[in-house]
Amino acid sequence: MVSPLKNKIHPHRVITELDRRIPEDAAVKTLWAYSGDVEMALAHCGERKIDAYTTQKEVFNFWDVLSESSREVYELLLSKPFQFEFDDYHRLQDAWHRWPSPTARAALFFVLSTASEFGLASRGPLDTTYLNAISYSRIMTFKKLPNLDFHFMEDPAVNWKEFTNHDGYTVLNAGSYHSNLFDYGKPVGPEEALIDHKEIRQAWSGLGPNVLMVYNYSPQLFEDYKDSRITMINEFGKPTIHQHMCKEVIIDKH
């Protein structure tokens, strides 16, 4: 099944390699789920048990509502109250998460994420031509996979040892890497996770043995994780030995 959300800025090219590495009967925990593409791909075999965690309440709300009532979200998207003018979408980027209805927030999250060039509900230039019958059909046809569950972590301060030490595999969808503390002051929307990459690096040696970190390519990763195995993935989702062709990396201890 294809995720109804498109990962526009940094599409996960590592999915094929993750699928190859993780046994088909493994239990898998992921952290910082957003578009759900990694989680759905890993769950698609029907044997892995996938528990997808997010520290962002509105990301969880979207997947929770969609899992229970995707038809209701689809019908709301087509309803008259959701036929907005173009200028309304810009105002909604600031206000969507304050709507009282969980279903309405889920629908707005989808609409704004789909229209945003960044793939984020709260920011990015908007192109409403993406809001069409094809994109809405992804909501209508969505069916929750029985072996995929989404979970909300209320405390964003992750206990790394506890989270990663279990019998299965852990996938950390860590995004873009930086160690500059000034980056943590940037404004973000309620759907965006602030990830402390320095904290993860300091905790790395104590994490469980089957942790796979997924990062967008950064040369600094090769210095900071020089004692770990780093697999470079090119734009076609294939492992590569050439840094200039690398788009994403998988970091593990094996």
My answer on whether 43 and 117 are in the same domain is no
Average pLDDT of every residue of the chain: 93
- Residue 157 burial by CB count (10 A; 0-12/13-18/19+): exposed, middle or buried? exposed
Q: What are phi and psi of 113, to 5 degrees?
A: -65, -40
Confidence (pLDDT) at 163: 95
Count of the separate structural domains present in the chain = 2
My answer on whether 218 and 122 are in the same domain is no
My answer on whether 219 and 203 are in the same domain is yes
Confidence (pLDDT) at 159: 93
User: Given the DSSP bridges, would you call strands 169-175 and 239-240 parallel, antiparallel or unpaired?
Assistant: unpaired
Pick the last residue of a domain from 140, 157, 174: 140
C-alpha distance from residue 190 to each of 7, 71, 95, 98, 216 (Å): 17, 25, 11, 10, 22
> pLDDT class for 105, splitting at 50, 70, 90?
very high
Q: Could you tell me if residue 34 is inside a domain? A: yes
My answer on whether 114 and 223 are in the same domain is no
Confidence (pLDDT) at 168: 96
Pick the last residue of a domain from 140, 155, 174: 140
Q: Could you tell me if residue 164 is inside a domain? A: yes
Q: Could you tell me if residue 112 is inside a domain? A: yes
Pick the last residue of a domain from 109, 140, 171: 140
Tell me: the pLDDT tens digits for 147-199?
A: 999 999 998 889 999 999 999 999 999 999 976 555 545 657 999 998 999 99
Q: Residue range 59-82: average pLDDT?
A: 96
Q: Residue range 207-228: average pLDDT?
A: 95
Q: Could you tell me if residue 9 is inside a domain? A: no
My answer on whether 128 and 68 are in the same domain is yes
pTM above 0.75, yes or no: yes
- Residue 142 burial by CB count (10 A; 0-12/13-18/19+): exposed, middle or buried? buried
Confidence (pLDDT) at 16: 94
Is the pLDDT at 34 greater than 80? The verdict is: yes
Q: Report the SS3 class of residue 50.
A: strand
Structural domain of 39 = 15-57+145-252
